[in-house]
Amino acid sequence: MTGKTAFETQYGFARKDVRLETWRLAPFNRWSFQNVGELVPSVHVAAAPGGEDQAKSLGALLEENISFAGGRETVQSFLKRSDTDGLTILKGGKLVGDWSAPHMPFGSRHIIFSISKSVTAILAGILEGEGLFDPNAPVTHYIPEAKGSAYGDASVRNVLDMTVSLDFEEAYLDPESAFARYRRSTLWNPGGGSESLAAFLLTLQRLAEPHGQTYRYRSPNSDMLGILVERASGRRVSQLLGEKLWLPLGAASDMSVTVDMEGTARTAGGMSMTPRDLARIGEMMRQGGMASNRRIVPEAWVRDTVAAGGSHEAWQRGTMVFLFPKGRYRNKWYQTGHDSGAFCGIGIHGQWLYVNPKTEVVIAKMSSQPEPVDDKLDGSVVAFFEALSRMV
């Protein structure tokens, strides 16, 4: 007998050590990012019966060399260096292959953090196509009680494009910040349960600058979007996900989304799904809103999101211009500005959904990077995706 539990033998640490204080820290995140529902209340969204096919190896591709500014390394080496947990690659809608780290069994769900924003925006696009949601309406049209907050004179478009002039900082590692209070309201941090997510959002105030001028990455905007789509539709986010996206998409596995004390979905970052299903979302966007021979979201909305819309000027005034110097941001999706027309969804700790229309490649990458944000590594990941999309 080793004296270790099966959990300790498999992961190298005890389950009792994974708590709300630690679940986003390495090495605990190698397990917690696949098991968020054991830590934070979550609602499941069912897939159609049938399940997922078996994993398909990337084979010799793993030993191919990728060139970076700092040198060359194999695909497999980069996946390990960037703390990848799971990867799926599609080309022309067909599966190229999957890769999983030893601690992530194939078919496991994994939190996608802020790619949840991109998924929530798809719901908004679907509702817009049904005539239930107006992106140009004031926020107060749907949420009258937002009057007096930062959102009181903001438009839904400002919320969608992260151009709300919001007095708030994404201070991921500061336990005394307003961001920590925000996470308590979502039940992601210890001490939650006394203030709901919606109540917190309505306390936020604005900066002096007019809305619409500057791209500011502020996660509360995307939780506000979730509440907006619920008010517009009269349906819970989890219901909308199932009826409007998950079943029509042909998703093979259940997904989930964390909720607060009132059952409000954490649409800014709380969704979990498999790499295969995340790739299916990317393929649907590449196909202009179609999946399984069904129209899911209007083609015009997809075109505006991934190619035409978004303010270049607002992006240039923001703090992420270093990643995509010619980029834009529209409906919670990043336009890279690259000649390939590539676009993506991005989440902290290394979550990516990359779509390259020119090469017809979709890459879903789920990771457990130790740091929430690693600007240098992000640049390498983008270069990796571009090179990989030309190789497959």
pLDDT tens-digit profile of 140-173? 999 999 999 999 999 999 999 999 999 998 776 7
Assign domain 77-391 to a CATH class.
alpha beta
Reply yes or no on whether the pLDDT at 67 is more than 90.
no
Give the pLDDT band (50/70/90) at residue 259: very high
278-298 burial, b if ≥16 CB within 10 A, otherwise e? bbbbbbbbbbbbbbeeeebbb
Tell me which of 176 and 47 has the higher pLDDT.
47
Reply yes or no on whether the pLDDT at 44 is more than 80.
yes
Q: Which of 112, 84, 77 is nearest to 98 (CA)?
A: 84
pLDDT at 382: 96
Q: Find the mean pLDDT for residues 191-214.
A: 96
Tell me which of 23 and 178 has the higher pLDDT.
23
Residue type, position 282, single letter: G
CA distance 215 to 127: 24
- Catalytic choice (114, 222, 367, 368): 114
Q: Find the mean pLDDT for residues 70-90.
A: 94
Q: What is the CA radius of gyration of the chain?
A: 20
- Give domain limits for the chain: 1-32, 77-391
Reply yes or no on whether the pLDDT at 1 is more than 60.
no
pTM: 0.96
User: No. of H helices and E strands in the chain?
Assistant: 15, 15
196 flagged as catalytic: no
Q: Are 279 and 116 in contact (CB under 8 A)?
A: no
CA distance 130 to 134: 10
Reply yes or no on whether the pLDDT at 322 is more than 70.
yes
pLDDT digits (tens, 9 = 90+) for 13-40: 999 999 999 999 999 999 999 999 999 9
- Residue 206, classed as helix, strand or coil, is strand
Q: What are phi and psi of 257, to 5 degrees?
A: -145, 135
Q: Find the mean pLDDT for residues 211-220.
A: 96
pLDDT at 2: 63
Q: Are 7 and 345 in contact (CB under 8 A)?
A: no
